[in-house]
Amino acid sequence: MTDPVLVVEDLYIAYDGVPAVDGVSLAVERGQITTIVGSNGAGKTTLMKAVAGLLKPTGGRIRFGGDDITGLSADQVVLRGLTLVPEGRRLFPTMSVRDNLRTGAYTRKDEAAVRADFEKVLTYFPILKERLEQQAGSLSGGQQQMLAVGRALMAAPKLLMLDEPSIGLAPTVVETIAEIIRTISANGVDILLVEQNAHMALELAEKAYVLENGEITLSGSGAELMESDKVREAYLGL
């Protein structure tokens, strides 16, 4: 087995001295979909932001592709090949779909490769191809989520992190997003997915972690966690 693409070691992040991520360790293996399941306020967004360089951890290490990236800026992290699809999508609502996609490639110089990736993204999301000149803010919630994923892919990531892509979407749309995540993974992009929707996350996961009050309390394959009594009661409502 090769080294994991991402390793988080004993990470701590606090807001005004109150820990939100409290000694988290996890690994994302190459070629896999890894997911983190946790309820509201568990620390998922804080953890993702720290890995993406948007928050400085107070302790611990983040290694990506074998390099220590702890404390690097968000731009530097993107340049190394790690891109976050943030919670709430953070699109530019008055800009067109095309221009939103282009902003995802802002760190890239190779125009030919950017054009090729633009075409590739449109093959993942044919609906966006039909709406290239439309304002992003006029898209449906599911289409906006697709645009947020497409924009992140325009940075040509090795590892794509997604923070709650299913939030606010109807079940059929969630299933479409899940299928797209599977396809992106099959095309060679490693995935770290954070979700309150344990059903979606565990179905996709080759490896899954449960995050509670800033700590990892369970881990295993998606199938193993789906069988766990605790997960079934607390996260799957069974």
Q: Using CB under 6 A as the criterion, which residues of the chain lie in contact with ligand ATP when the complex forms?
A: 15, 20, 38, 40-46, 87, 196
Give 218's contacts (C-beta < 8 A, 6+ positions apart): 209, 210, 225, 228, 230, 231
Cα dist from 147 to 6, 117, 142, 208, 221, whole Å: 25, 14, 9, 26, 29
Cα dist from 232 to 35, 110, 219, 226, whole Å: 16, 47, 14, 6
3-state percent breakdown (helix, strand, coil) of the chain, nearest 5: 40, 25, 35
Which residue lies nearer to ligand ATP by CB, 10 or 67?
Answer: 10
Closest distance to ligand ATP from the beta carbon of 211 (Å): 7
Which residue lies nearer to ligand ATP by CB, 137 or 168?
Answer: 168
Closest distance to ligand ATP from the beta carbon of 214 (Å): 7
Which residue lies nearer to ligand ATP by CB, 36 or 156?
Answer: 36
Which residue lies nearer to ligand ATP by CB, 51 or 114?
Answer: 51
Could you give the strand order of the β-sheet that contains 59-64, starting from the edge strand earlier in sequence?
Answer: 18-28, 6-15, 59-64, 67-68
Closest distance to ligand ATP from the beta carbon of 119 (Å): 34
Which residue lies nearer to ligand ATP by CB, 20 or 202?
Answer: 20
Closest distance to ligand ATP from the beta carbon of 52 (Å): 13
Closest distance to ligand ATP from the beta carbon of 115 (Å): 35
